Amino acid sequence: MTISGHNMVMKQVGIATLKSHLSEHLRAVQRGESISVLDRRTPIAEIVPVRGRELLSIRYPAPDAPPLNRVPLPKFPKLNLDILDLLLEERQDYR
């Protein structure tokens, strides 16, 4: 199923169809199409092509940079807190 709007056509697919034909749908997105994912006729997500990929570049470490396993890590701060108490306190807020 497809819906069309101003200068745009978006394909709509159900979750089961998306799962069974995922590669096909991802190739369509790679070609520039957008897909709306439906859960029982209700749109729940959109799969859209990545924009601005040319802005992303991979930089390699400088030749004189130390190997990653030799980079010193920052010291963990010593806090007088009980992590379990914080977790339980946070969970109480949701009850």
Mean pLDDT across the chain, nearest whole number? Answer: 85
Nearest to residue 26, comparing CAs of 50, 9, 43? 50
Give the mean model confidence (pLDDT) for residues 22-44. 94
Residue 22 located in a structural domain = yes
Residue 84 located in a structural domain = no
CA 78-80-82 angle, to 5 degrees, is 110
Give the mean model confidence (pLDDT) for residues 12-20. 96
Residue 75 located in a structural domain = no
Residue 82 located in a structural domain = no
Residue 52 located in a structural domain = no
pLDDT tens track for 39-65: 999 999 999 998 766 666 788 889 999
Domain extent at residue 42:
2-47
What percent of the chain is predicted at pLDDT more than 70?
A: 82
- Domain of residue 31, CATH code: 3.40.1620
Total tally of structural domains belonging to the chain: 1
d(CA 37, CA 9): 14
pLDDT of residue 50: 85
Residue 33 located in a structural domain = yes
d(CA 31, CA 80): 54
Report whether pLDDT(66) > 80. Answer: yes
pLDDT of residue 56: 66
Residue 36 located in a structural domain = yes
pLDDT of residue 46: 96
Residue 94 located in a structural domain = no
What percent of the chain is predicted at pLDDT more than 90?
A: 41
